[in-house]
Amino acid sequence: MNPDRLNIFFDRFPQLRSTLEKLNAAKIPYAIGGSGCLFLLGNERLPDDVDIYLRNEDHDAVDQLFDIVSFIYESPLEHVRNSNVNGDHSIQLTSHLTISAEGKSYDLSLTPDVLEARLQSAHDSLEVFLYPPEDVLLIKALLQRGADVGKHDIEDIEAFRQRYPQLRLDYLQQRIQSLGAQDRVQKIFDV
């Protein structure tokens, strides 16, 4: 990760450092996902918030750690459990992500194989973990949301693939197959 991008990201989200410090101190596995992950790895578009993915089984402990209450967000495409640090929607703790599209459901929980594929860096001696960028792209490919809902999923995928040649295509292919998502995302990834 580029140190300049980390500085921009942490400056944009002032609560991020203390949030990650608490998660690291409590030894709770997490991964920054979404557009924040893609920005830190090279995408130009600045994210509006930080999505921090948690294992499903850790969400209750995290809510206690931050003294917050979770809520369930549902849309025609998503079912997810979220919590907001200090009631601020700029830091969103996320688990239990299920995407439903074209009559199928895809469980995108933070599993051991996803944890193993996380990327790790440091910002001023703070350990920072990123969701595997391949999984971020996979989530965006499954959702395929557009400007009509304030999202840029397909554009983010295309831009990121041009800027990030280190994409682990074998891992991406394994994830697509394990989710049975070939029909939904094949045309996007050509893998």
Per-residue model confidence as pLDDT tens digits over 117-176: 999 999 999 999 999 999 999 999 999 987 777 788 888 899 899 999 899 999 999 999
What is the C-alpha to C-alpha distance for residues 118 and 128, in angstroms, rounded to an integer? Answer: 10
* Range 183-189 average pLDDT: 89
Task: Write the DSSP symbol of residue 59.
Answer: H
Give, in order, the Cα–Cα distances in Å from 22 to each of 17, 38, 84, 132.
9, 23, 14, 22
What is the C-alpha to C-alpha distance for residues 141 and 145, in angstroms, rounded to an integer? Answer: 9
What is the C-alpha to C-alpha distance for residues 36 and 94, in angstroms, rounded to an integer? Answer: 14
Higher pLDDT, 158 or 191: 158
- pTM greater than the 0.85 cutoff: yes
pLDDT tens for 16-25 read 999 999 999 9
* Contact predicate 141/153, CB 8 Å: yes
Which distant-in-sequence residues (6+ apart) come within 8 Å of 4 by Cβ? none
Q: What is the pLDDT of residue 169?
A: 92
Q: What is the pLDDT of residue 83?
A: 96
Q: Is the dihedral of CA 104, 154, 165, 3 positive or negative?
A: negative
* Contact predicate 172/134, CB 8 Å: yes
Please check the confidence at residue 106 and state whether its pLDDT lies above 70: yes
Residue with tokens 């929980």: 109
Please check the confidence at residue 191 and state whether its pLDDT lies above 70: no
Give, in order, the Cα–Cα distances in Å from 144 to each of 43, 131, 134.
18, 19, 15
Q: For residue 138, what are its two tokens?
A: 């996979």
- 16-25 vs 3-12: helix crossing angle, rounded to 10: 100
pLDDT tens for 83-97 read 999 888 899 999 999
To the nearest whole number, what is the mean pLDDT of the chain? 93
* Contact predicate 70/81, CB 8 Å: yes
Task: Write the DSSP symbol of residue 46.
Answer: P
